[in-house]
Structure 1
Amino acid sequence: MDDKVDRLVIFLAKRDGIDKLVKTFQYVSKLVHWRVENSHPRAADRAKQWEVASGLSRKAFRTGRFLTGFNALRRNPGPTATFRALAVLANAGEMVYFFFDHFLWLSRVGVLDAKLARRMSFVSAFGEAFGYVFFIVSDYIVIRDGIRAERRIVESGVESKEGDVIRKIRADRVMRLMGVAANVADLVIALADIEPNPVCNHAVTLGISGLVSAWAGWYRNWPS
């Protein structure tokens, strides 16, 4: 597929595609707000409104998303006992994240008591952080095994015959590295909710982390 407009249409037709686009808006506006907060208060207020609206929109788009993890476990939990255990832990954390994110969204838009927002945010972020740790570990194992497999092929002297296999290993490695980058960035954002601190909660840290996660998602979901 060579037409970029066709690719963009397909990308935006996906729920993950829309999520990554709006996530880009959310964290660009966060950085804009931080940059102009003192020099241009009116522009900063508009950027803040854009950030809040984007964040709430993303939560609406993710309605029912917790079922994705359940379906992944039901359909393909993993080829080995280790990967099955990692899949259960990772997807369980992600399911908690997306499930309680519904209540966080409802409390922030005024449907539920606003006092619930902080509690729901903590539970959701804790599930997110928990799950991402095991997603990162799982991707690390696959990347490590891929490097070892590629090295064996090269050392055996049949690299020219196994060119397609090597290309698949390398392509998978790139996609998994993008996944690790996104998960580490989102883990930083989750830690800012779980245990607020000057480093994780700084606007620049959150802004850059959000954009790394968004753009890694763009790469992974962009049609080939």
Structure 2
Amino acid sequence: MNDTVDKLVIFLAKRDGIDKLVKTFQYVSKLVHWHVESTQPVIAERFKHWEVASGLSRKAFRTGRFLTGFNLLRRSPGSTPTLRILAVLANSGEMVYWFFDHFLWLSRIGTLEPKFARRMSFISAFGEAFGYVFFIISDFIQMKEGLNKERKLLIGSELENNTNSDVKERTLREIKAERVMRLMGVAANVADFIIAVADIEPNPFLQPCSCSGNQWIGLFLVRLVQKLAFVKRI
């Protein structure tokens, strides 16, 4: 039975589609701004305003999002001790990201002192990058488990002699489909990780490439996340 937190998380998840759409606006406008900044500064400035407005709108849509990680840890932390530890670390980083993002938003719109924006941005981006590391590790571990299961199925060690081939083929297809989904998830998390690290300031490592490579990574990430969301609904 769903409790209050479950119901709240389900309610908040209804905004994910809008968030993905606005995310597309944000990164497309970021790309256009970067592309025309040196040649058409007036147009670049307009797209910069669109990017900033989209970013602030997304922060508003994501209010309370940190409860998603908390609820996931309550309901399904992992099937093994290793996966449980990784889930705690990954979701803790993500919860820090979502939670402090609220204060970054309030600082950006002027409700809180603007001086807090830089500090909140650092904490939020650091938590996000921290969480993605363990999400990626967890996905690789589960892909390895899937490969082992697939190998056993192929040699017939997990299926009894009276099991028909249709069941075996269906199980193999499910394993392969899950592996593809996890590979797509890893690609999205790697792109998100790079963007999160670039947002950490001061940052002597990624600043030289933050105005070029990250723009393309961001747009790729949006398209990939949208594809993931579409496949999950099928």
TM-score by length of 2: 0.85
Residue 182 of structure 2 corresponds to which residue in structure 1?
Answer: 176
In the TM superposition, what is the alpha-carbon distance from 1:198 to its structure 2 partner?
4.6
Report if aligned partners of 2:184, 2:224 keep a CA contact under 8 Å in 1.
yes
Residue 216 of structure 1 corresponds to which residue in structure 2?
Answer: 224
Alignment partner of 1:203 out of 211, 214, 234 = 211
Structure with more relative contact order (C-alpha pairs < 8 Å, separation 6 or more)? 1
Report if aligned partners of 1:28, 1:211 keep a CA contact under 8 Å in 2.
yes
Residues 106-185 of structure 1: pairs in structure 2 closer than 5 A? 106-156=106-156, 160-161=165-166, 162-185=168-191
Question: Could you report, residue by residue, the CA deviation over 1:58-106 in whole angstroms, capped at 9, with x for unpaired residues?
Answer: 1111000000000000111111111111111010000000000000000
Residue 102 of structure 1 corresponds to which residue in structure 2?
Answer: 102
Taking a change above 3 Å as real, the CA distance of residues 196 and 48 of structure 1, as seen in their structure-2 partners, is: farther
Q: Which amino acid aligns with 1:99?
A: F
Report if aligned partners of 2:197, 2:206 keep a CA contact under 8 Å in 1.
no
2:212 partner SS: helix
Distance 2:16 2:23 in 1: 10
Taking a change above 3 Å as real, the CA distance of residues 178 and 188 of structure 1, as seen in their structure-2 partners, is: same
Computed over aligned residues only, the root mean square deviation of the Cα atoms, in angstroms, reads 1.9
Unaligned runs of 5+ in 1: 1-12
Q: Which moved more, 1:180-189 or 1:198-207?
A: 198-207
Taking a change above 3 Å as real, the CA distance of residues 52 and 219 of structure 1, as seen in their structure-2 partners, is: same
Taking a change above 3 Å as real, the CA distance of residues 16 and 149 of structure 1, as seen in their structure-2 partners, is: same
Residues 34-113 of structure 1: pairs in structure 2 closer than 5 A? 34-113=34-113
Rg comparison, structure with higher value = 2
Distance 1:200 1:171 in 2: 38
% identical aligned pairs:
63
Unaligned runs of 5+ in 2: 1-12
Q: Which amino acid aligns with 2:223?
A: W
In the TM superposition, what is the alpha-carbon distance from 1:20 to its structure 2 partner?
1.8
Report if aligned partners of 1:16, 1:221 keep a CA contact under 8 Å in 2.
no
Distance 2:143 2:208 in 1: 27
Distance 2:120 2:67 in 1: 18
TM-score by length of 1: 0.88
In the TM superposition, what is the alpha-carbon distance from 1:17 to its structure 2 partner?
2.0
Report if aligned partners of 2:83, 2:138 keep a CA contact under 8 Å in 1.
yes
Taking a change above 3 Å as real, the CA distance of residues 66 and 198 of structure 1, as seen in their structure-2 partners, is: closer
1:111 partner SS: coil
Runs of 4+ in 1 over 3 A off after TM superposition: 155-161, 196-201
1:193 aligns with 2:169: no
Residue 3 of structure 1 corresponds to which residue in structure 2?
Answer: none
Residue 30 of structure 1 corresponds to which residue in structure 2?
Answer: 30
